[in-house]
């Protein structure tokens, strides 16, 4: 089976910035509590932009970064739990708005905060069965629509944003050794659907999710490295789902990862669920912290409960 490389990256965040002090006007909290428990200082929130606007902008930047034409794209997947519509899928509207070919699969994928990594793996499999060799994978969330703004234990955590990757399939690249998993659970993290009696807002057992994450990330890293026959030293950069800076710091400390090899932008964006990993990748590339040949190990975890890890090279 052919593997994939990332050949283009893009990001998009809404203009409006909500600070911890802004939140302290809305619920009983304060900057010190939020920063010390989560590392989050600000998050971007949609006011004038839609979910679709974020997807479209991030996708255009990634396609331009890859230096390809939309007509060369062989599939489009948007990982999200917060699209503007249940139907049509955000990916279908991107087919129209980007001018993607009509004879390709375009669909949304829901695996919460693991969504981008699940979508990358699905894309790799689709491109193996396609005559076209480029794929567009987007993680995009407008979580501000799904937050209970009266619940201080969750509303401080989340933000809106999008990250996009153009990937290329080639026999020159080894099939990526992605690790994916799921343990069905609606108690730890829940967003009710359209037919539910309760309002469709996020509820979460924060401490249990924290525990789940700090156990799962090292397991995923070990499994990816074993499959890849690689060591920690082979990794140029670690990108973990940005859910809480303390979760990331805990893993860095436990596994003796050099802190400069582990990227964090949660302080600026909060938890953007499926967008957090591609947003971090796009920013790393902008900052020239990763480039051609960089090996990036990514781990995602979240609602479902789901988890996943993979190691991908940049072209
Ligand atoms: N401001 C001030 N106090 C707050 C608060 C806020 N925003 N939110 C909760 N508190 C209070 C609680 O009410 C509780 O008070 P009590 O002891 O009087 O009951 C106290 O702070 C401790 O709450 P607790 O939930 O135990 O704090 P914590 O240290 O576990 O931190 C989270 C809470 C949510 C920050 C943390 O559990 C977390 O980040 N979990 C992971 C969440 C996550 O990653 N979710 C997404 C997964 S993809």
Q: Work out the pLDDT band at 27, boundaries 50, 70, 90.
A: very high
188 lines ligand 1 (CB under 6 A): no
Q: Mean pLDDT throughout 100-105?
A: 98
Whether the pLDDT of residue 174 is over 90: the answer is no
Given a contact cutoff of 8 angstroms between Cβ atoms, the answer to whether 301 and 241 are in contact is: yes
Contact present, 41 and 267 (Cβ < 8 Å): yes
Residue 244 in contact with ligand 1 by CB distance below 6 A? yes
Q: Which atom of ligand 1 is nearest to the CA of 29?
A: 1
Q: How confident is the model at residue 39 (pLDDT cuts 50, 70, 90)?
A: very high
In this prediction, residue 160 carries a pLDDT of: 98
- Residue 6 and residue 46: Cα distance in Å, rounded? 28
Distance 93 CA to ligand 1 centre (A): 37
Contact at 8 Å (CB) between 115 and 121? Answer: no
* Ligand 1 centroid from CA 191, angstroms: 18
Beta strand 73-79 with 42-45 is unpaired
pLDDT at residue 70, as a whole number: 98
Q: What is the mean pLDDT of the chain?
A: 96
199 pLDDT above the threshold of 90? no
Query: What per-residue confidence (pLDDT) applies to 245?
Result: 97
Does the Cβ of 190 fall within 6 Å of ligand 1?
A: no
In the prediction, which pLDDT does 65 show?
98
Average pLDDT, integer, range 196-205: 89
Residue 243: closest CA among 302, 184, 160: 302
pTM of the model: 0.96
Which helix H or strand E contains 302, and what residues bound it? strand 295-302
The residues annotated with a catalytic role in the active site are 113, 241, 271
- Summarize pLDDT for 226-267 with one digit per residue, the tens: 999 999 999 999 999 999 999 999 999 999 999 999 999 999
Residue 172 — very low, low, confident or very high, per pLDDT cuts 50/70/90? confident
CA distances from 281 to 2, 197, 220, 294 (A): 22, 38, 19, 11
Atom of ligand 1 nearest to the CA of 112: 48
- Closest Cα to atom 43, ligand 1: which residue? 243
CA of 206 to the centre of ligand 1 (A): 6
* CB 152 less than 6 A from any atom of ligand 1: yes
Residue 117 has pLDDT above 90, yes or no: yes
Arithmetic mean of pLDDT, 75-104: 97
- The rounded Å distance from CA 83 to ligand 1 centre is 27
The percentage of residues in the chain with a pLDDT greater than 90, rounded to a whole number, is 94
Nearest-atom number in ligand 1 for the CA of 153 is 8
Q: What b/e sequence results for 242-272 when a residue is b if at least 16 CB atoms lie within 10 Å of its CB, and e otherwise?
A: bbbbbbbebbbeeeebeeeebbbbbebbbbb
Cβ–ligand 1 distance for 106 under 6 Å, the answer no
Give the pLDDT confidence score for residue 176 in this predicted structure.
84
pLDDT of residue 23: 98
* pLDDT of residue 175 exceeding 90: no
Whole-number Cα distances in Å, 80 to 153, 220, 277: 22, 22, 13
């Amino acid at each position: 089976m052919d593997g994939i490389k990332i050949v283009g990256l893009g990001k998009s965040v809404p203009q409006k910035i909500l600070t911890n002090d802004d939140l302290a006007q809305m619920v009983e909290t304060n900057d010190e509590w939020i920063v010390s428990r989560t590392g989050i200082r600000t998050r971007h929130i949609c006011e004038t932009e839609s979910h679709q606007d974020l997807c479209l902008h991030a996708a255009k930047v990634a396609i331009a970064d890859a230096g390809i034409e939309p007509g060369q794209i062989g599939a489009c997947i948007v990982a999200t739990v917060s699209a503007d519509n249940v139907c049509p899928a955000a990916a279908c509207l991107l087919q129209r708005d980007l001018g993607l070919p009509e004879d390709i699969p375009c669909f949304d994928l829901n695996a919460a905060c693991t969504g981008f990594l699940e979508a990358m793996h699905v894309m790799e499999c689709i491109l193996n069965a396609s005559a076209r060799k480029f794929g567009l994978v987007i993680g995009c969330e407008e979580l501000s629509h799904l937050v209970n703004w009266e619940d201080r234990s969750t509303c401080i955590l989340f933000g809106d944003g999008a990250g996009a990757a153009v990937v290329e399939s080639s026999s020159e690249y080894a099939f990526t050794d992605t690790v994916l998993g799921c343990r069905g659970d609606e108690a730890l993290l829940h967003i009710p659907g359209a037919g539910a009696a309760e309002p469709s807002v996020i509820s979460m057992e924060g401490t249990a999710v924290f525990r789940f994450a700090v156990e799962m990330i090292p397991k995923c890293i070990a499994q990816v490295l074993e499959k890849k026959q690689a060591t920690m030293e082979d990794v140029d950069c670690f990108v973990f789902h940005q859910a809480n800076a303390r979760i990331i710091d805990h893993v860095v400390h436990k596994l003796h990862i050099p802190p400069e090899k582990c990227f964090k932008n949660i302080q600026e964006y909060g938890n953007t669920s499926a967008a957090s990993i591609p947003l971090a990748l796009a920013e790393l590339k902008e900052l020239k912290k990763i480039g051609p040949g960089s090996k990036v190990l990514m781990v995602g975890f979240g609602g479902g409960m789901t988890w996943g890890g993979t190691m991908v090279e940049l072209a």
